[in-house]
Chain A
Amino acid sequence: MTIELLSANHAAAMAATLAGRANRTGRGFGGGVYPITPQSECIELLCRQKFEKGEITRVESEHSAMGVCIGLAVAGARTFTASSSNGLAYMTENVYAAAFYRLPIVMMAVNRTLGPPWNIWVDHGDTLLLRDTGWIQLYCEDNQEVFDSVLFGYRLGEDRRVLLPVLVCQDAFVLSHTMMQIDVPAQELVDRFLPVLDLPHRVAERPVTIGGLDFPHETEVHRRQHAEAIARAAQIYGECQDEFERVFGRRPADRIVPYRMDDAEIALVSMGTTAATVRTAVDAARARGVKAGGLRVRMYRPFPERELKAALARCRRVAILDRDISLGHGGVLWSETRGVTPRDAVVQNYMLGLGGGDVRPRHITAVIDDILGRAEAAEPMIMEVA
């Protein structure tokens, strides 16, 4: 193992490279790639790598980037791509297709504001657009987590009980272009963690049509199987953590990550790097006697409903911090999380950092002060931070 100074973009590319090489004795590795700010550094680094059995395909659009991944994966290769924002929106049709074909593709998404007007800064609206695609979604808080989640994603997605694609999300610039120390494991360890991909339904010579024509009953069955598989991913997550820890000596974070939640009366629920800022604000609140705690949702799909419910059970006030907006209905995280909050709690939605506004501890402190003063929840609020 070596410690390297890497941005999250480069961390994802390095992890994908190691995972790709780990499949050299299998059907190989590849991916269709297409640039978009602030993801491009990831695919640029990937395009500089040498593979014993692998090639990167420089395509003409995100839609085809996923199209090439689908072709590679359905033929049994391990695949990776990366995108962001409008690129993900353009890719969406094939994002659905990849999941419906049950292909364990891993994609790194840099969370960026959708446009126009063009805005390259962080916002979770792009990957939340893909919420219902049937992909597993992981949101990361630092670069090591991005690196680990790419490896973890292959292990989880390629598990025969799962067979689903995995989206590894990270915040634009806050992570994508910020250098951090990354523990990069040796190839032998990655080989041990990631067995060769053996896709049970790969296209070979048997005359089957993959993705042909379903009538309603077939679709009901396919959706049920898909729903059961993504639900199983939640259970198998723990096994993958154990295996990851056994091989690499560190344990990836749980599906939800609590901070000082044991006796918390106020919970601040968030995703991505906002959670790190929340920790600072929680410490400050605690110093002045306010029993605040942070709760980060790392795995957004499958949604950790039971875990969130248990973690929030004793909270009187729950602030849900969205870095996204479902226009016409507040934040997406709020609309899903409020269903698992205690019945008598004040549950308030704060949308902050939309369009990449710099969320600082003082903004979180303002959220804590606001919710402390509320007898009941108001409409979802957009907090200006920029």
Chain B
Amino acid sequence: MSEPLLGGAVKTESDRPEQILRPGNTNCGGCGMSITLRMLTHAAARQHPVQLVIPACCAIVAPGQYPYSAYGAPVVASTFGSAAAVASGLAQVARMNGEKTRVIAFAGDGGTYDIGMATVSAAAERNEDVLYLCYDNEIYGNTGGQRSSATPFGAATSTTPYGKDILKKDILAIMAAHRVPYAASISLAHPEDALRKMHFALESAGFRFLHVLSPCPTGWKAEAAEGLELVRLAVRSGLYPVYEVFGGHRLVINIEPEMSREALEQYFAKQGRFQKSKVKVEDVYESIERAWRDLRGLAALRQEG
């Protein structure tokens, strides 16, 4: 298993001259979105001018107060549900003018799973030339930690104080069902796989969807330093499947889970959000197994492009 080199801070010759998220941003320590943007900086090397569209979410508070911006790329701050629509417009103008600009919609789970769902779905159906990246911290983080349809079973939030009793929405299956050129989940604990996918998504044309499980120490009530360890546990246990789907058809599992009950137990134990509901491994293990049976079945069925 590969670790992020020096915490992902290594700069290479092919990097953009400027980080996409520069120092001086207001993110919490241990924020998965910060790590995601750092990886995106590596992936969007010098040859890619990028434009970001960011709806209401932590990432639009991150750059700080007008007129300052901690982003090292141009950003349009869109309304909450509109990132995919605004990005469609930017991408069209770039295309009409023969520009190589990669337009990235960068949204949280609220802006993707919930309020932006119709807009994301429509942009995917139109196969807009947009890379849509959802950093999923499984919570409305910016508003103080309310539940979203990405909040997992058993997690307490400010609006599910005793723990959510519904499974989270399967966003990657939904997006892949749009038969977009590329849809993949990314583990921040597996940077080589993550960077490869980001790079591939940036190079590809049409609508591309990347899903990132993004640790949120504040909302998850977990140690800031343990974010990547939590992601690793989610992957090892099978709770967070890491795979990619090409054209809504060929499905490739990228990281084999150990289906480890112990990892899942640790995942729950290390996060305060799971303590109220006292959620146990057996409460969710069956749903994880079922999801993996489906995934393996699809991967076997859809080996050909």
Chain A: residues with CB nearer than 8 A to chain B?
27-28, 30, 32, 53-55, 57-61, 63-64, 67-77, 79, 93-94, 97, 203-215, 218
Known: A203-B76, A207-B72. Contact between A60 and B90, CB under 8 A? no
- Contact call A70/B97, Cβ cutoff below 8 A: no
Interface 1/0s, chain B 74-98, versus A by CB < 8 A? 1111110110111111111110110
Known: A208-B75, A209-B69, A213-B60. Contact between A64 and B119, CB under 8 A? yes
- Contact call A67/B65, Cβ cutoff below 8 A: no
A sample of 25 cross-chain residue pairs with beta-carbon separation below 8 angstroms, ordered by A number, consists of A28-B92, A30-B96, A32-B89, A60-B119, A60-B125, A63-B81, A63-B82, A67-B82, A67-B86, A70-B78, A71-B76, A71-B89, A72-B90, A72-B92, A74-B89, A77-B89, A77-B96, A203-B51, A204-B74, A207-B18, A207-B73, A210-B75, A212-B69, A213-B65, A218-B66
- Contact call B93/A67, Cβ cutoff below 8 A: no
Instruction: Judge whether B110 is part of the interface by a CB distance below 8 angstroms.
Output: no
Instruction: Judge whether B227 is part of the interface by a CB distance below 8 angstroms.
Output: no
Q: Which residue from B64, B77, B85, B97 sits with its C-beta under 8 Å from A68? A: B85
Known: A68-B85, A205-B74. Contact between A213 and B90, CB under 8 A? no
Q: Which of B69, B85, B94 has the most CB of A within 10 A?
A: B85
Question: In the assembly, what is the distance between CA of A324 and CA of B75, in Å?
Answer: 40
Instruction: Judge whether B172 is part of the interface by a CB distance below 8 angstroms.
Output: no
Instruction: Judge whether B118 is part of the interface by a CB distance below 8 angstroms.
Output: yes
Instruction: Judge whether B63 is part of the interface by a CB distance below 8 angstroms.
Output: yes
Question: In the assembly, what is the distance between CA of A68 and CA of B303, in Å?
Answer: 36
Instruction: Judge whether B268 is part of the interface by a CB distance below 8 angstroms.
Output: no
Question: In the assembly, what is the distance between CA of A32 and CA of B84, in Å?
Answer: 12
- Contact call B65/A214, Cβ cutoff below 8 A: yes
Q: How far is the CB of A295 from chain B (nearest CB, A)?
A: 38
Q: Give the residue name and chain of the A residue nearest to B96 (CB).
A: A28
Q: How far is the CB of A66 from chain B (nearest CB, A)?
A: 8
Known: A57-B126, A60-B118, A70-B82. Contact between A208 and B93, CB under 8 A? no
Instruction: Judge whether B61 is part of the interface by a CB distance below 8 angstroms.
Output: yes
Chain B: residues with CB nearer than 8 A to chain A?
18, 49, 51, 53, 60-61, 63-67, 69, 71-79, 81-82, 84-94, 96-97, 118-119, 121-122, 125-126
Q: Which of B79, B97, B119 has the most CB of A within 10 A?
A: B79
Q: How far is the CB of A211 from chain B (nearest CB, A)?
A: 4
Chain B residues, CB < 8 A from A94: 79, 82
Question: In the assembly, what is the distance between CA of A215 and CA of B68, in Å?
Answer: 12
Contacts A27-B97, A63-B82, A207-B74 supplied; 5 other A-B pairs, CB < 8 Å: A32-B85, A77-B89, A209-B77, A214-B65, A218-B65
Known: A57-B126, A212-B63. Contact between A63 and B119, CB under 8 A? yes
Q: Which residue from B69, B86, B122 sits with its C-beta under 8 Å from A208? A: B69
Chain B residues, CB < 8 A from A204: 74
Chain B residues, CB < 8 A from A215: 65-66
Q: Which residue from A64, A75, A93, A212 sits with its C-beta under 8 Å from B75? A: A212
Chain B residues, CB < 8 A from A63: 81-82, 85, 119
Q: How far is the CB of A331 from chain B (nearest CB, A)?
A: 31
- Contact call B93/A76, Cβ cutoff below 8 A: yes
Q: Give the residue name and chain of the B residue nearest to A206 (CB).
A: B74
Q: Give the residue name and chain of the B residue nearest to A28 (CB).
A: B96
Q: Which of B18, B66, B71, B84 has the most CB of A within 10 A?
A: B66
Q: How far is the CB of B85 from chain A (nearest CB, A)?
A: 3
Question: In the assembly, what is the distance between CA of A63 and CA of B86, in Å?
Answer: 11
Q: Give the residue name and chain of the A residue nearest to B94 (CB).
A: A75
Chain B residues, CB < 8 A from A214: 65-66
Question: In the assembly, what is the distance between CA of A121 and CA of B74, in Å?
Answer: 44
Q: How far is the CB of B132 from chain A (nearest CB, A)?
A: 13
Question: In the assembly, what is the distance between CA of A97 and CA of B18, in Å?
Answer: 29
Known: A209-B75, A212-B63, A212-B77. Contact between A64 and B93, CB under 8 A? no
Chain A residues, CB < 8 A from B71: 207, 209
- Contact call A213/B85, Cβ cutoff below 8 A: no
- Contact call B77/A211, Cβ cutoff below 8 A: yes
Chain B residues, CB < 8 A from A203: 51, 74, 76, 90
Q: Which of A53, A205, A208 has the most CB of B within 10 A?
A: A208
Chain A residues, CB < 8 A from B63: 209, 212-213
Q: Which residue from A70, A71, A97 sits with its C-beta under 8 Å from B92? A: A71
Q: How far is the CB of A381 from chain B (nearest CB, A)?
A: 39
Question: In the assembly, what is the distance between CA of A348 and CA of B215, in Å?
Answer: 62
Question: In the assembly, what is the distance between CA of A203 and CA of B121, in Å?
Answer: 25
Chain B residues, CB < 8 A from A64: 82, 84-85, 118-119, 122
Chain A residues, CB < 8 A from B77: 209-213
Known: A209-B71, A213-B60, A213-B66. Contact between A30 and B93, CB under 8 A? yes
Q: Which residue from B18, B53, B67, B93 sits with its C-beta under 8 Å from A27? A: B93
Please name the 3 residue pairs, one residue from A and one from B, whose CB atoms are nearest each other, closest first.
A71-B89, A67-B85, A75-B93
- Contact call A93/B79, Cβ cutoff below 8 A: yes
